[in-house]
Amino acid sequence: MTTSSPLELQTQALGWLSHGRELAVELKGDRAKHSDVIWQLLVEAVEIIDKTPDQERRWLTSGTRSGGWNMIGMSRAELFEIERIRLLSAIKPYDGKTRVSPQRDDVDRALGILEWMRWCNTARLPDRLTKAAIALARGGDSETVHKLYCPTRKSRDRQAVYEIRTRTVGFILTGLKKDLRIVPADGISFKEITS
């Protein structure tokens, strides 16, 4: 296990926040806020982890796989020839089930962002908040999110969804400030605190 220095963690987090800024601007344009940056990073992290192949499922299906089209030792010309044969045989390009394999940097970023959820442990009933926030980031329906966050509340309103998102982002912003010395800056960027 490698341990990173606080400076490395800070630099890494600033890079992730820069990526989150791009996601927030892509989604909301000029209306994007710092909270949108954090939330979009969380949504993307959950999505990446959900798309990551399950190791146990991979072991169960390992007998049905081969090297695939891009086997070791195949040249670029051989790959083009295989694709040409597929087209001539009336096989559609990319025929079959599409699999998405996140890149290593994406998975590292996703795991790092999800690690920020530890800062929600200072909340009252932190398990409820973190489970509801992850369900909300996953795109869960409001009924499920309400059951996780406030199971005794009778009314199912948008207030709880807003509360979950606001509290989660607030705890993450506080953790970034306390642990990594990163604060919101002009626009929707972030900067390190210099002393």
Q: What is the DSSP letter of 54?
A: P
Along the 195 residues of the chain, how does pLDDT read in single tens digits? 456 678 889 999 999 999 999 999 999 999 999 999 999 999 999 998 888 776 654 554 544 444 554 455 667 777 777 777 777 766 665 555 555 566 778 889 999 999 999 999 988 889 999 999 999 999 877 778 888 888 777 766 778 888 999 999 999 999 999 999 999 999 999 999 886
Residue 122 carries which DSSP code?
G
- Residue 122 tokens, joined: 């200072």
Report field, pTM of the whole predicted structure over 0.85: no
Contacts of 104 (CB under 8 A, 6+ apart): none
Other CB atoms within 10 A of residue 84 CB: 10
Contacts of residues 4-9 at CB distance under 8 Å and 24 or more positions apart, as own/partner, are 6/180, 9/180
Task: Determine if residue 189 is left, alpha or beta; phi over 0 gives left, psi from -120 to 50 gives alpha, anything else beta.
Answer: beta
